[in-house]
Each structure stands twice: as structure tokens, then as C-alpha cells.
Structure 1
Amino acid sequence: MLGTVLLLLALAKTGCPSPASLVSRRAEALKKLLELFGMEDPPAPPAHFKRPPQYMVDLFNTVANADGVTKNPDVLKGNTVRSFLDKTHSEEMRFLFVLSSVAKNERILMAELHLFRLWQRVTDRPKRHHFCQVNVYQVLEKDKPDTSGGKKLLVARTVSLQTSGWEIFPITSAVRDWTEDESRNQGLLVTIQSPDENPLDPPPLQFASGGGHHESKKPMLVLFTDDGRRGALLPTAGFPDLKPQAPDLPAKMPVPKLGRSRSTRSLDRLQSCQRYPLSVDFEEIGWSGWIISPRGYNAFHCKGSCPFPLGENMRPTNHATVQSIINALKLSEGVSSPCCVPDKLNSINLLYFDDDENVVLKQYDDMVAGSCGCH
């Protein structure tokens, strides 16, 4: 499908019979590309400049190269990571995250509450404690969160009062509950106790809130999901894995304008199956407003002949070798020579704003031709 999309995009740049035809062709290409990314319409860019959470930027850089191609495939749990900022914007340790953008087909794998721990408050009281206990509750009754039946303990942790930085609390069970029934989402409550579970007033530990602190320290929910998409499995039988891939060639190679003569056929044989650049520029197609990274990527494409006899540098399958022999010896009518196609496909990662201005990291399989071979 990606090949069809890229072909349509390429055709949209070329001359066409009428402006209306060009607009229609471009719209069709962009619609197909959106379908490939699992979207019906492109998300609206944020109304104002918005900086993505540093955690999401760092995660993208860990998983992918600058052009979005996956470099560490085992880092992500699933193929989608969503971040949500707190909607309460209050100084109290009550948090609410709206999860309406999570698709029904997404399987919840893991959910984390990220809270930024500020430096210990300076008080005149003697420091009797070096640690405190942080409790994270799922609120069951919005108006009665302090009653025993109004909340459910998700995690309790002892933390040091001598440092600052991010604390991450697992809250997967609560988020699964919320995605099954949105009405159950009454938010989270965080309390601070002494190590012996006595209340501390005022609490010596403070987390940054959604209202009065810098955006880079705001409370955040990070959700790891899988939407069930998986790439096609390419045949690998007969591939010489340790053989070097033929070098990438320029996108355009000068070819003499000759007829289909013996000289031309000889030239085609010299241009054996190779990988060529194929640029996808998100700014050029008008998506730079909502895609954070990358600005574009090189999808590559495969082109060239698969002449008999197929050498190991052409990475032929066993079937392609047999087909090449049958074609060369004319042992059967209508059997063509093998085709030059991708024999390895790599995934890319997009970091983008969704319709609710949440930042999403999504991984898409089979988006880059990693190498080419004769099939």
C-alpha cells in the first residue's frame, strides 16, 4: 500500500491534464497515506506554540534515529505511547486525565503516573524524617475521596526527602478500568504520610502541580498500548544474511536514449537490483504543523533487473533462483524473470500532536525498504 501512496504523491507533483485532476489526485494520495497511519483526518495543529513533554522527546530519540527509523526495536511496549497532561490545574494533589483519544481497539499494556518531586520545603521545625510514604489512589467517588469506600489504593512507595526529580507510579489497573467505562474516571488522589503511616501536616514533600509550575514539570500520564497492527512477514528462505547489500545508488541515473536493442538490454543487465532513495517530506505535504518528529524520512525503493544467473549479492530466494533458471532456459511459457523488491522492511516512528493536543509516539511497520533482493 505504501508503494501506491508514494506513487500517487509523485504523480501529484507532475504535470496533469487539469488543475482539478491534480487536486483530486493529491487528495487521494494524502487520504491513502492517512489510512496507512491509522487516521481518517489529519489532527489539527495546536492553536498556540506548544512544547512536547521532554520525556516523549527523549523516548523518541531512544527508539528512533533522527529520520524516525527504528534503531532500538525492543524499547517500546506495544506500538503506541500516549502522554496526557493533568486537567485539574489545581494546587491540591488531585489529578484528572482525559483518555477519550484512546481508540477502542488499543490494548492497554502499561500506564504510568509521572510526578515531579520538588525540593523539600524549608521549615523551622527539626527534621525528624528523612523519608516519607507516597500513596496513589484511584478516586471512586468524586465528592467523597477521603472516605474508605471513596478511593482505592493503587501504589504506596517510600521516597527520600533529600532529592528532587521525577517519580513514576504504575497505575495500569485504574486506566484499564477507565477505558472500559469513561464514567469511572474520577481521577487520582495522592497523599503523603510518615514512614509509620501517620499524617504529615504540612507534608514535607511536594509534587509540581498542573497550575503553578513550569510546563516541563507538569503531572503526566504515560500510556503504552498496542493497536494490533503488525507488518507483513517477508520470505527469508535462501537469503544470504551475511552477504553485503549492494550500495545505494543516486535517485536518478543517466541512461542513454537507445531503442530496445541489444545494447539497451546489456545496459539493463548492468543495472542490477539496487536500492534507491525515495524522500517523504511531511512539510511538503502540509503535515509539519502536527508532526513533531521527524520532518520527513527516506522510504527508499527497489529498482533494477534480476538477470540470470542470480548472484548472492542480489539476495535471491530459492524460488527466485528456480524461476530465473526456468526463464533463462525457456522451459515454460509465460514465466518472467524475478522482480527486484524489498527483502527487508524497517519501521518508522512518528511523534505528533493528536486532536486533543496530547503528544503521541507511534511506530509503523514496513515503512522503509531496508534492502532489496530478487524474488
Structure 2
Amino acid sequence: MVDLFNKVADANGITRAPGLLQGDVVRSFEDRVHVDHHHFYFDISAVEKGEQMLKAEFRVFKLKGTHRSRRSDTKHFCKVEVYELLESENKPQKKHLIASRLLSLHTEGWEVFNVTQTVSKWVGNKSSNHGFWITATHVSKNGMEHDMVTFAKSQGTLQESRNALLVLFTNSNKRRSHSFVPFATKSETNLPAKSDASRVSHDAAVMESSSASMSRRPRAAAAAAARSPLAACHRRELYVDFHAIGWSGWIIHPDGYNAYYCRGSCIFPLGGSLNATNHATVQSIVYTMKLSQDVSMPCCVPDELQSLNLLYFDDKLNAVLKHYKDMVATSCGCH
């Protein structure tokens, strides 16, 4: 998941290029069966029914064969078959073949199986999810041999990086999925109580002070520009530190990002650099000439916004990579 994050985003989470990520949500589920080396089960209850399934990948790490075939035997491949279990794990004989392929006995590495159709059914009916069953058979001169190769399981001495995964690529049809609201409901989030208002004000002042200290302009010039009511609308830095707001415990990447914000006046005449709308231009004229007491000065707001990618843990400790729109102000304008 970290590799995928680095592919689609830079270190700050900014999207490298549109279209690199298939869908707007990528969910990674770990194998939850720790006994039978044939059985792999993934709890996908975190997936909502409204999500559009684009692709589902069953990823398992193939270990080297337990022993080598005789040199005279030219068949160095085994047949691997992946099944959907149709009933509980105690009845593996009731299964449906999903995929099969030939694999070398003497190599190891990741194998990826497309299980989109099966997982789509599980999302629609979670009670039908009994997991996958995987077998490996080898036909040699000595007859048919079973379990000559095995796949890494999440137990004991095996490295966590080799654990079997189910990776889902989805699109959410709900507008809310693109908002930042779900983060505010996380149980790990330490939101301050009303009685902590003074502490919040202090923390905000510290963050603002830290942001200002990182500016390349002298402090005096920055302070003067902030106080000046005639400073033209422009973009300013606003670094969001996930550690400072108590979110570093569940957000994996990035550590924070520069959201930027817009500040400044939109008084007539509005120059071309202010990206003013025609409506804002007329409103600024009316405001400047004081033709109406009810009309205010046009607002300095983000004119263009950029997306952000976050890699984080959900409530069930599954790794999720999510694409959020309109998270970074790239330019400002008068509207």
C-alpha cells in the first residue's frame, strides 16, 4: 500500500497525475485465518454497498517448493487453483473454481489473482463470504503430488510483508466520500472539549506562528502585509500537521500537507492576477462607490483546488488509500 501511495502521490500526498489511481478508494484487507494453510479469509465488512467495485485482487506470496523433483523429471511446474468456499471453513469440499495457473516449483514471489466477480457478490451479500481455498498439485512420473508449494500465512516466523492480502479498487457514488468529514468521527481522533477552548486557541497561535516563521519574507514585512487592509488577494501558506492535531496515530502517509489559504482585499480596480469574475468586478465597483450599504467587498477565496491522497488505517485496522478532491488551494481569486 505504501508502494501504491508513492506511485500515485508525492511525499505530501499531492496527486502526481490524474488517472494513475484506479478508482478513488483502495482498501487492503489482511488474511484472518491463522491455522489452515489452504484457507484465506478476509473481513470486508468495511466496504459499503454503495461503492462501485472496479477490481479485486487476491495477492498471495508463493514460497519455494518443499523439495525438488528428480532430474529426469522434466515437469518443474505445479498447478495452482483458487476456489471460492461456498460454505463454512469446515466444509472445503463445497467450493467453486475461480482461477488456475501453472507456477514454477523452484521460485518464490507474489501471485495476483483477479477475483472481482466473487468479491462483488460478497459486498452485496456479506454472509456469502466464506473465503478462498487454494491448492497446488504437481504431476510427475511418481504420480500426482499435493502441497509441494505453499503460500505465506500471517503466523509465527513469517514476515508481515508476506501476508496474504485482498486489495479492492472502488469508486464511491456518494458525494460525502470525497469530504474530510469521516476523519472527524474517528475514535482515535482526540478532539478537544469545550472546556479546552483556551488550549485550542494557544495551539492555533503556535501553529500560525510556526507557519509564519517558515516564510521566506522578513517577519516585519509579513506582519505589515497581514495588517494592511489594502493587501491584494493572494495565497498564503497553511501547513496542516497531522501530529499536531492528534491524527498521526491512524494516518500513515503523509505526515502533513500544505493546504494553503486565501487572504487579501478585492477592492476595485481588480487586476488580472486576481482571477476576478465579472460579477466580482461589478460588486467591487458598487462597494467602492458606496452605492449600497448592503453590498460588501468581493471575497478572496480559492480559485482552483487540487486533490490529496491519504493512506490511513480504518476502524478495523485495514490500510486504506483514499483520493480526496479539493484539499489544496492552488490559486486564489476574487468572487
TM-score, normalized by the shorter chain, greater than 0.5: yes
TM-score w.r.t. the length of structure 2 is: 0.76
Contact 2:276/2:333 (<8 A) preserved: yes
> Residue 81 of structure 2: which of 122, 125, 135 is its match?
135
Equivalences for residues 66-215 of structure 1 within 5 A: 66-123=11-68, 125-126=70-71, 127-142=73-88, 143-146=90-93, 150-161=94-105, 163-193=107-137, 200-212=144-156, 213-215=158-160
AA paired with 1:134? V
After superposing the two structures, state which structure 1 stretch, 152-161 or 59-68, moved more. Answer: 152-161
Distance 2:102 2:234 in 1: 58
2:321 aligns to what?
361
Contact 2:81/2:97 (<8 A) preserved: yes
Question: Could you say which structure has the higher strand fraction?
Answer: 2
Q: Structure 1 residues 188, 314: closer, same or farther in 2, change over 3 A? A: same
Contact 2:41/2:132 (<8 A) preserved: yes
1:298 aligns with 2:258: yes
Output one character per residue of 1:145-171: Cα deviation in whole Å (capped at 9) or x when no partner. 23xxx2112222333445322111111
2:188 aligns to what?
none
Contact 1:96/1:188 (<8 A) preserved: yes
AA paired with 1:371? S
1:314 aligns with 2:261: no
AA paired with 2:81? N
Contact 1:90/1:210 (<8 A) preserved: no
How large is the RMSD of aligned CA atoms in angstroms? 3.0
AA paired with 2:92? P
Output one character per residue of 1:276-304: Cα deviation in whole Å (capped at 9) or x when no partner. 11122221222221221122222110011
5+ residue gaps, structure 1: 1-55, 233-247, 259-266
The percent identity for this pair of structures is: 48
* 1:201 match: secondary structure: strand
Contact 1:249/1:277 (<8 A) preserved: no
1:331 to partner: Cα distance = 6.6
* 1:284 match: secondary structure: coil
Output one character per residue of 1:165-214: Cα deviation in whole Å (capped at 9) or x when no partner. 21111111221222222221111011224599xx8413443321223521
5+ residue gaps, structure 2: 180-214
1:72 to partner: Cα distance = 2.9
AA paired with 2:28? S
What count of residue pairs does the alignment treat as equivalent?
292
* 1:316 match: secondary structure: coil
* 2:145 match: secondary structure: coil
